Structure 1
Amino acid sequence: MSETTVKKAPVWFWVVAVLALLWNLLGLLAFGGTIMILNSADVMAALPPEQQAIYADYPGWALAAFAVAVFGGLLGSIFLLMKSGLARILFIISLVALLVSDYYTFAVARMQEVSGSGTFIMPALVLLITLFLIWLSGKAARDFK
């Protein structure tokens, strides 16, 4: 028989949880930038023609997936600070939406052909951080009071 001991959350947890919130606020800024591009002819005109074509054809389902990924991550971070089990669910929803959004970016829009192979770096980092936050949120809900 295994007993799980619930203990006070260590300082490192609070540091990581606050960093997760800040990270997801940056995601909100990235989403806002995409909205600005899609809704401003002047901003769109400042992009290279290849990127203009990608944004001109940006489908609603991809934008919705991006929104769910960002807001799911942001809400997940807030619930992580509360050590709520809901954080893990929100991070998993965010992960699924992230994968849908990345499918559009790389398989449909083929952004890497326009922006180069460096295009993969940020999405890979976002994916790794999201997976880590799924693990951490499960640990927090289970192990910390």
Structure 2
Amino acid sequence: MTSNTNKPNRLFWIIGVIALIWNSMGIDGYINQVYQTKRFKTMYTEEQLEIIFNLPSYVTAAFAIAVFSSVIASILFLLRKKLAKTFFLIGLIAVSVQTFYNVFLNPGKEMYRTVEYSMLILIPLFALFLYWYTKKCADDGILN
């Protein structure tokens, strides 16, 4: 049995913890949206809620896959497992599906505010970064 002698640096742990927190917040958002909680409903107008609650099922499924696979990936990353790369890739693909819908197909996109546009940029970029960084860590022998 071989052991990994490449020790992660402080940045590795910081990125891992931020990834876990960020993606856990995604699960919170998903649960609030799917269960139509009071907290979620106070964030949007009735017109926006009508669109959100009638999203195509594949968009809601992509949301679930993105956040749950990314939390699993974050945990695997912190455990220094190469399998994290696969789960971050699954999350990245799901985020891409969701983003494509929100940018090109969503009938409510004319109601987007600065926050929505910011998230449409930030979420895919962070998902791409996490996949890239995890791939780099795997290639450098930090993940086993």
With the length of structure 2 as denominator, give the TM-score of the two structures.
0.83
| C-alpha spacing 1:13/1:113, structure 2 compared with 1 (3 Å) | same
Q: Aligned match of 2:121 in 119, 124, 131?
A: 124
Partners of 1:75 and 1:128 in 2: CA distance? 19
Residue 68 of structure 1 deviates from its aligned partner by: 0.3
What is the CA-CA distance between 1:89 and the residue it aligns to?
A: 1.0
- 1:11 aligned residue: 10
Return 5+ residue gaps in structure 1 as ranges: none
**1:77-118 CA distance string (max 9 Å, x none):** 011112222111111111111111122223222433113354
CA contact (8 A) 1:65 1:98 kept: yes
Counterpart residue identity of residue 132, structure 1: F
Q: Secondary structure at the match of 2:103?
A: helix
1:86 has 2:79 as partner: no
Residue 65 of structure 2: aligned partner: 68
Show the counterpart of 1:136: 133
Q: Which has the higher helix share?
A: 1
Q: Give the Cα–Cα distance (whole angstroms) in 1 for the partners of residues 29 and 137 of structure 2.
A: 28
The structure with the larger Rg is 1
- Extract unaligned runs of 5+ from structure 2: none
What's the RMSD between the two structures over aligned residues?
Answer: 2.5
TM-score (norm 1): 0.82
Residue 26 of structure 2 aligns to which amino acid in structure 1?
A: G
Size of the aligned set, in residue pairs, is 139
